[in-house]
A and B are shown apart, each in its own frame.
Chain A
Amino acid sequence: MIADLTDMLTGCLIMFAVTYATKAVTLLFIKKDIKSKYIRSFLYYLPYSVLAVMVFPTILFCTSSIWSGLAGTAAALLLSFFRKGLLPVSLAAIGTVFVTELLMYFL
């Protein structure tokens, strides 16, 4: 843990400022339409790319062992492929990781 109190408060303030600015700027000031098909496409696609980049490959290494990470990732991929909701997918991944690590602990 590197962050001290100042880092945390500064970080939180920056997060608040940027987040609020992105939410408020058009609601408060702009009255014109965003016409460009390219910009609209870009803004539509961006969240998917951001999530994909944040998740892979970090998800494989976010648990104590690569094996439990792989097992949990597989569970999440499988269930979300069959369109299960956020909560079921998440719980299944947590359960799979926990059971895998439990097995590794005792075997």
Chain B
Amino acid sequence: MSNKQINWFKFASPQAFYPLAGRMIPWFWGLAAVFGIAGLYIGFLVAPTDAQQGEGYRIIFLHVPASWMSMFIYLVMAFWAGLGLAFNFRLSGMMASALAPTGALFAFLSLWTGALWGKPMWGAWWVWDARLTSELILLFLYVGFIALQSAIDDPRRADKAGAILALVGVVNVPIIYFSVKWWNTLHQGSSVSLTKSPSMAMTMLWGMLLCALACWMYAIAVALMRVRTIMLERERHTDWVRAELRELCEPAGGE
């Protein structure tokens, strides 16, 4: 009892992280459900209508969290990638590859909901607005990362090459965003700005934050699930995977 200090590096090994992640996943699912229900309740049932945009504005309760998560996941991915390059943790490369598909999914959802929002607001499914364009480029970056990793057979090399790409991407994202913004102001495609709705009511803000939290918890849960699969796949020749699977076998196998 006296020795309560946790050795965090212990969890950096797949062997220790695998069961830990398994125990954490239900909690994150629970939190995602609670936040999601609360956020959608506020967003769709409590929040008043927006004076300018009518009821269509309720898409922001999905669109903004999805865009936030797509950007945030890229940052987290680059963070894991950098950690993996610097300290050679096996876990960090796996985390980066586990996060990428979820990030790409959120980028896609952000574009999808953005299109469905843009149609009633701007009268067009797609507008070359700086934010939408940057989101599209972010999706390209995710696709490039996933394609590079899946093209390389050796997982160690795939991790490292992906890490370099993620870091180069994360340095470039602000430059890309700035250049797209510059391009956008010069060409003045759209004059309506979405986040500039001047007085966002407190209830709307709360709804959005809760939805964003729900997406965050969802992303963690899904990434942990995916990282567990990646661990089993990559470490299938090790003893701990055998032990883990035999344990899984027992209830069914009897003997």
Question: Do A and B originate from a single complex?
Answer: no
- Residues of chain A whose beta carbon lies under 8 Å from any beta carbon of chain B: none
Q: Chain B: residues with CB nearer than 8 A to chain A?
A: none
